[in-house]
Chain A
Amino acid sequence: MTPLSFEWQWNVEYIIFFGLLYIALGVVSVGLVVVVIKTALQVFGFMRERHF
């Protein structure tokens, strides 16, 4: 799963597979961080509240 695990090989297959996986997980985590920051800014009044 990471270069620390025993099976890890530095080859194209590993880089594509885990690259895509970590990109997907990265997008999700960055999205969540952005939401948390936006919420915090709104809570503390640095940003206008959004309604829809």
Chain B
Amino acid sequence: MDSPLLPEGVKRCSPAKFLFWTLPWFLLLAWGGLSAFLCLYKGLNQTNMSNIFAFALWIVFDLAIIALGAGAFFTGFLVYIVGKKELKNILNAAVIIGFICYSAAIVMLGIDIGQPLRGWFIFWHANIHSMLVEVSFCITAYLMVLGIEFIPNILENRKLAEIREFRLFGHSLHHIMGVFAATGVFLSFFHQGSLGGMFGVMYARPFAAREGFYIWPWTFFLFIYSSIAAGPCFTILCTKLTELITRKKLVPNNAVQTLAKISGWLLASYMVLKIIDTLGWIYGVVPRAGLTFMDFFREGPYGVWMMVAEIIVFGVLPAIMLLSPKARESEGLLIIACLLNCTGIVFNRFLFIVVTLAIPVMPFDRFWSYLPTWQEWGIAMAVVGYGFLLFSAAYRYLPVFPKERELNPVTE
């Protein structure tokens, strides 16, 4: 039925099967749509956020997907600026994942603020000293760049490419993509950093506060570092998942190996810096605030184990796995390493957001608990649904993986 739209020379499932596959994702979207309606119409009392947990599940999700979406800008950087040509085979996928992550994050933020209609105040009445302003400007601008990077791939659709103007536009766009990629790198550098800066600058919250360089707390640099260490792994995970579901080899091994190796080196060096930062914090910021490290974990379910897990299990371990060529080349171990790495970054964001807010600063204050409502989960899960839908549609109708035809010759 939709065969004229499908890329040439590749095998795709029947439209009915595809429709069936999209059903669960549409259901997640519907759940999210209902939740969004309730949150916008009835207000944020639909969530379990409170004056203590001012940031909660949504901000964790936001920061996590923005960090995981960093594969887009970093792969673009490696292809266009460093010149790693083999990564071209995975670049389209990385861009689409980035586009999904960033667009979802912006929509989530729009629901998360109490007065969505005043969202433009962030830009118009910007307080340039606020890290969140820098984040907002840069993710919005970067989403535009991601859109531009996505366009040539969309215009490669078989039907669209038949239109000469579109084809020429796509080719011209592709020709100067390096310029856009470089701008994207610049913008990403600042918003990934400012997301970390957001927490490091909260100097009255000793759990998050960090010292730093000039106006940037160390978290600024660590968040950039961790996002480029985990982003490529998320790109690998997504392509591996696509390969698993489609039962095809889509990306040549050398591209995946290069990305995994770079990710490994970045993660290893990030872990060194993270450990130094943590020690500096434990022996610097924390005692200056009159606390000891263990004071943070007196109450509530969050314990030291989370930080140990973040650094050892989800940091050092995957770094070693990704750096060892033997482990990297084994598909199972590679996937486990990537999973651990991505979990680590989510843990890191969770600690900075939820645990920071959960720990009372005033000595006589108490611990409060927080569990998200189904409306909060609905919005978060809608992001997953949206991601699967957009990626599946892109895979079906666009030549996302340039080497797909070469790796899977159609025999009949």
Contact = CB atoms under 8 A, between A and B. Distances in A.
A–B in direct contact per CB < 8 Å: yes
Given A27-B179, A35-B176, A7 B169 contact: no
A26 to B, nearest CB: 10
Contacts, number: 64
Interface string B178-198: 011001001100000000000
Nearest to A14: B128
Interface string A5-43: 111000001100110010011011001101110110011
Contacts of A42: 168, 172
27 contacts: A1-B124, A5-B125, A5-B126, A7-B126, A7-B127, A13-B128, A13-B129, A14-B128, A17-B134, A18-B128, A21-B137, A24-B187, A27-B183, A28-B148, A28-B183, A31-B180, A35-B172, A35-B173, A36-B169, A39-B168, A39-B172, A42-B168, A42-B172, A49-B168, A49-B171, A52-B171, A52-B174
Main secondary structure of the interface of A (DSSP, over half): helix
Task: Categorize the interface residue count of chain A.
Answer: 20 to 34
B21 interface: no
Interface in B90-147: 123-129, 134, 137, 141, 144-145
A7 B128 CA distance: 10
B67 to A, nearest CB: 21
Interface of A: 1, 5-7, 13-14, 17-18, 21, 24-25, 27-28, 31-32, 34-36, 38-39, 42-43, 49-52
Contacts of B128: 13-14, 17-18
Contact of B126 (A1, A28, A34, A49): A1
A35 to B, nearest CB: 5
Interface of B: 123-129, 134, 137, 141, 144-145, 148, 164-165, 168-169, 171-176, 179-180, 183, 186-187
Nearest to A43: B165
A24 B174 contact: no
Nearest to B186: A24
Given A28-B180, A32-B148, A39 B127 contact: no
Given A7-B126, A31-B176, A50 B183 contact: no
A29 B128 CA distance: 23
Contacts of A14: 128
Given A5-B124, A6-B125, A43-B164, A31 B172 contact: no
